[in-house]
Amino acid sequence: MSRVKRGVTSHAKHKKTYKAAKGFYGRRKNTIRTAKAAVDRAMQYATRDRRAKKRTFRALWIQRINAAVREFGLTYSRFIDGLAKAGVEVDRKVLSELAIHEPEAFKAIVEKAKGALPAAA
């Protein structure tokens, strides 16, 4: 039986790991054992943080909307309640962008939401 040299496939697999470890510090970028562990861990963090990023941005949009509607004498929760009752379906990302870049359009949305709320007792 002929001899099988396995260097080609090993080098290809290692090359893929080294490419993913580019920019890592010390031996983590050029020693396969440490690079593989570092890349695996980095992939776990990347997966986790893609989900965390969505939560973080939603929280940011809510803070921006809250700050913007308080100028009109509303709180965030009352504003969202008013939007729901008025039948306005605009997501928080767009509301946040409107509050920053289009204050007149945001003011019109706030007035619509205020109109749908019952008078404060």
* Spatial CB neighbours of 22, under 8 Å, sequence gap ≥ 6: 29
Write down the pTM of the prediction: 0.77
Provide the token pair at 120.
Answer: 């404060």
Q: Which amino acid is at 118?
A: P
Band of pLDDT at residue 4, cut at 50, 70 and 90: confident
What integer pLDDT is reported at residue 2 of this predicted model?
86
Band of pLDDT at residue 65, cut at 50, 70 and 90: very high
d(CA 101, CA 115): 23
Phi, psi of 80 (to 5 degrees): -65, -40
Provide the token pair at 14.
Answer: 């290692």
Band of pLDDT at residue 95, cut at 50, 70 and 90: very high
Band of pLDDT at residue 120, cut at 50, 70 and 90: low
CA end-to-end distance (rounded Å), the chain: 92
Average pLDDT rounded to a whole number, residues 23-44: 96
* Spatial CB neighbours of 64, under 8 Å, sequence gap ≥ 6: 96, 99, 100
Cβ neighbour number for residue 116 with a 10 Å cutoff: 15
